[in-house]
A and B are shown apart, each in its own frame.
Chain A
């Protein structure tokens, strides 16, 4: 991990709420892993927005020396990020944290993404497909227009199911039935999720019952992103006791079985 200056190559809207940012940052894509994140300096100086903003790696392209981020324009920090023009520099610290693991014997995985959580899961899906691992993806969003990645994941051979608040199909109970059906087909080796506390709890229960390994990428408010401030600490179940772990350092990806307060 390190602090580096990248150059914005593209920063475009993908729908009314999300932007796709492409940054030229030599050497960083090569050392990045799915599930890790970068800490981005969004403001021009620290009096506009003081802290960096954590963003998952959405794609890494070592050939072009590019890192990609997909972000929800939410508050002041991401609004400033959205203003970055092609050619502007972007100060990044990373890659940070521990990413997903995809064990060699696993041949079939299930991914449940809520909203922009799909950005965090996208590079995992891509690397699973590269290794010819079958991937089922459940994409959950507010409306059909908010669903991101459906075609992108289909194009690399994933089986994609979309659920939305608008149709009621995104309710945890409805998603649980969908998950159970997929697991019932008997091929799934592991499950992954990101983006929703309710779905994380649900998937944790289901994975536990089926005896499947699961992983979740968590979000927590961060100041340093590198383990110094203890601002991002949460309680986890590890080796039979409750332990405080830093989401930025020991995470952001954790075994689902360790999560206590999703």
Chain B
């Protein structure tokens, strides 16, 4: 049987397949388990302009079919990232898409400028789920106006493809997605983690040092899938779905709901080889159903 075409297009960027790691759930360390070139793209942990420590521990708490994390954005700063981390990725052909995070729109723009002069960088994921210091600590992604403002500045600072990573902790994610599109984003990534909490009843203390944290893993999939569906209906740019994926079936659901590509997060922690298995499963499904290309499935849900 001839194999189906798994490649997809996100703006100007061609991916050999639609599966890539989610920011913060992947690092160079995974190269010891899988050939990184088999992935559609490589998205790094969010990087900031300056050095940051991240949150106090405990930073992790397991919940039913989910994981709460309050890692924060520990970061060695962009200068070190360029000097120490980027050289590693020159050994790979899978496109590198660093995730950037900042306290102000100007910080995002500065990061975009600095990373744009590095040939190994093929796109930027803009993590706007972090607190906005210019807006009382509310995240940029909670407000379409702030989302527009930061994406606009990044757009003007770089010619690289720009992906806006949205937060699910909002009234209307579709409105925020439209604002990102309006500002010139090449894709929207739906979505970051859902705000949550867990308490140790023996000690009556929160299980996370930061009290609250972001929920990821299988538990969030139906919610994020619904959001991908809502966003894909209103935007013209590609949607990248991320939340709870642990099988080829999950990827297929996201594609059918309207995603052009997907990211795998928490599942990488459970199965370091998981993404490669998911890609193989996708190929099998396409062959079994006689599809020539994975692109035929995008937005194909029958409603």
Contacts and interface: CB of A to CB of B under 8 A. Distances in A.
Co-assembled chains A and B: yes
A2 B267 CA distance: 16
B239 to A, nearest CB: 25
Interface residues of A, number: 28
A223 interface: yes
A233 B59 contact: yes
A230 B267 contact: no
A85 interface: no
B66 interface: yes
Contacts of B24: 229-230
B71 A47 contact: no
A234 interface: yes
A204 to B, nearest CB: 19
A233 B74 CA distance: 10
B258 interface: no
B54 A3 contact: no
A77 B7 CA distance: 39
A66 to B, nearest CB: 23
B266 A223 contact: yes
A173 to B, nearest CB: 25
Contacts, number: 92
Nearest to A261: B57
Contacts of A224: 25, 268-269, 272
Contacts of B218: 46-47, 50
Q: Bin the interface of chain B by size.
A: 35 or more
A61 interface: no
A93 interface: yes
A249 interface: yes
Given A46-B65, A50-B217, A50-B218, A233 B54 contact: yes
A84 interface: no
B59 A228 contact: no
Interface string B224-246: 00000000000000000000001
Interface in A46-88: 46-47, 49-52
A49 B62 contact: yes
A1 B32 contact: yes
A249 to B, nearest CB: 7
Interface string B243-280: 00010000000000000000000111111110000000
A221 B270 contact: no
A49 B26 CA distance: 21
A65 to B, nearest CB: 22
Interface in A216-262: 220-234, 244, 249
Contact of A50 (B53, B57, B270, B273): B270
A223 B59 CA distance: 10
Contact of B33 (A3, A51, A234, A249): A3
Interface in B24-77: 24-27, 29-30, 32-33, 45, 53-54, 57-62, 64-67, 69, 71, 74
A6 to B, nearest CB: 16
Contact of B27 (A3, A228, A232, A244): A228
Which of B30, B58, B60, B66 has the most chain A CB atoms inside 10 A of its CB? B60
Given A46-B246, A50-B66, A50-B217, A228 B269 contact: yes
- Which 10 pairs from chain A and chain B are nearest by CB? A227-B29, A224-B269, A231-B60, A223-B269, A228-B27, A47-B65, A231-B59, A221-B60, A226-B29, A223-B60
Interface of B: 24-27, 29-30, 32-33, 45, 53-54, 57-62, 64-67, 69, 71, 74, 217-218, 246, 266-273
Interface of A: 1-3, 41, 46-47, 49-52, 93, 220-234, 244, 249
10 contacts: A50-B65, A50-B66, A93-B272, A224-B25, A225-B269, A226-B29, A226-B30, A229-B269, A230-B59, A233-B57
Given A3-B272, A226-B32, A229-B25, 12 more contacts: A2-B33, A50-B266, A52-B270, A221-B57, A221-B59, A226-B29, A228-B25, A228-B27, A231-B69, A231-B71, A232-B59, A244-B54
